[in-house]
């Protein structure tokens, strides 16, 4: 059975991005315009308390780990109300205390059954071990964050979410599903990449207060902004599906790639984006997507990588995308 692509929405990433936008949390894809508009929804003491902890956290050198436990992991756990959101943070807090993700997986076994496909469990355990070394301050951060969320929900967000936010997002999700559901994007990528899609489905979660085009929520789930037009969302989802074929646990297990994944996952991720940009041109023709428009994934620093990957991949008689990625990496980082 062909894997489905589903556009949906969820309370957790929306309320979290609301808070991040108001607090202007660095590295969280917040929307500053939205934050200024909704600045009043948080208390002065919320801002003061968060600023105090933000300064402490800057000295810890664990921003990526904090992003995982304050946004990615809770956003991956569906929630219908604030109690469910707070419960996920309680479980995350316990995982930090234990220094392992085991408790979190045990709390949501069916939800996290695809996590090992996305990244090896040790990657997440390393996050929690690192945070555990600063357990006292991380517990204070999580406790403060729960307090801010609960107060925001009571004062403003419960009514806003039920009467405006969720209604708007669900309507948009329904329209996008009507466009996307007849087209088998996953199958089209499988034919181009000659790889099997590793997940049972692909989920795009609409989020209102964010300025990113897309961001991983773990495994088969991404968040995408509400702002782009329908055709742009279609293109974004197509790109992200292609990316998810490559950027997952198999790069940590692939003989050609695992050393690179362990040493410099950020550079490897950039090359994978470049590979997808190069290859999706032919795919866009199949999916009847115009290719003469600007691509939001072509950011500063990637154009030369796209050209380099393309020259390597196109010259191959037997197309091996993993080998092309390795060769691109080696040419970008030559050994002296």
Tens digit of pLDDT for each residue in 42-70?
999 999 999 888 877 767 777 888 888 99
pTM of the model: 0.93
Within 8 A by CB and 6+ apart from 209, the residues are: 14, 17, 18, 20, 21, 30, 31, 34, 35, 38
Q: Are 219 and 235 in contact (CB under 8 A)?
A: no
The DSSP bridge pattern shows strands 4-9 and 221-225 to be unpaired
Alpha helices in the chain, H assignment, sequence order = 11-23, 32-37, 44-58, 63-67, 73-76, 82-98, 102-107, 115-118, 121-132, 135-152, 158-160, 166-180, 185-193, 230-246, 250-253, 258-263, 265-286, 303-314, 321-332
Amino acid 336: pLDDT: 44
Q: For residue 195, which of 271, 131, 276 has the smallest C-alpha distance?
A: 276
Note whether 30 and 39 are within 8 A (CB): no
Please answer whether residues 218 and 20 qualify as being in contact, where contact means their C-beta atoms are separated by less than 8 angstroms: no
* pLDDT tens track for 188-210: 999 989 999 999 999 999 999 99
Reading the block at residue 160, the tokens are 């806003």
According to DSSP, the residues that pair with 266 across neighbouring strands are none
CB count within 10 Å of CB 231 equals 12
What are the pLDDT digits (tens) for 266-321? Answer: 899 999 999 999 998 888 877 777 766 678 888 888 999 999 999 999 999 998 99
Domain ranges (residues) in the chain:
4-180, 249-332
Q: Beta strand pairing status for 214-216 and 201-207? A: unpaired
Q: pLDDT tens, 84-119? A: 999 999 999 999 999 999 989 999 999 999 999 999
Distance CA 4, CA 52 (A): 44
Q: What percent of the chain has pLDDT over 70?
A: 98
pLDDT of residue 290: 72
3-state DSSP assignment of residue 202: strand
Place of tokens 């969280």: 28
């Amino acid at each position: 059975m062909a894997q489905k692509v589903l556009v949906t929405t969820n309370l957790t990433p929306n309320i979290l991005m609301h808070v991040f936008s108001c607090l202007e949390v660095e590295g969280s894809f917040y929307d500053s315009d939205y934050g200024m508009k909704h600045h009043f929804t948080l208390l002065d003491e919320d801002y003061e308390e968060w600023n105090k902890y933000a300064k402490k956290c800057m000295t810890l050198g664990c921003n990526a780990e904090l992003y995982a436990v304050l946004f990615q992991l809770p956003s991956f756990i569906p929630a219908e109300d604030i109690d469910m959101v707070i419960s996920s943070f309680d479980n995350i807090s316990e995982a930090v205390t234990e220094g392992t993700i085991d408790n979190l997986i045990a709390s949501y076994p069916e939800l996290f059954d695809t996590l090992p496909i996305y990244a090896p469990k040790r990657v997440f355990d390393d996050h929690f071990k690192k945070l555990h070394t600063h357990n006292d301050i991380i517990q204070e951060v999580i406790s403060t964050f729960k307090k801010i969320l609960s107060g925001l929900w009571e004062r403003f967000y419960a009514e806003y979410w039920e009467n405006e936010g969720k209604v708007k997002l669900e309507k948009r999700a329904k329209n996008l599903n009507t466009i996307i559901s007849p087209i088998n994007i996953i199958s089209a990528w499988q034919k181009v990449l000659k790889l099997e899609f590793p997940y049972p489905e692909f989920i795009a979660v609409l989020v209102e207060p964010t300025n990113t085009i897309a961001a991983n929520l773990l495994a088969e789930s991404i968040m995408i902004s509400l702002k782009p037009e329908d055709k742009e969302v279609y293109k974004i989802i197509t790109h992200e599906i292609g990316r998810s074929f490559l950027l997952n646990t198999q790069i940590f297990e692939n003989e050609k790639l695992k050393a690179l994944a362990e040493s410099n996952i950020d550079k490897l991720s950039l090359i994978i984006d470049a590979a997808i940009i190069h290859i999706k041109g032919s795919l866009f023709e199949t999916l009847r997507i115009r290719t003469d428009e600007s691509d939001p994934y072509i950011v500063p620093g990637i154009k030369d990588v796209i050209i380099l990957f393309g020259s390597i991949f196109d010259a191959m008689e037997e197309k091996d995308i993993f080998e092309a990625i390795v060769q691109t990496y080696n040419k970008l980082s030559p050994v002296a």
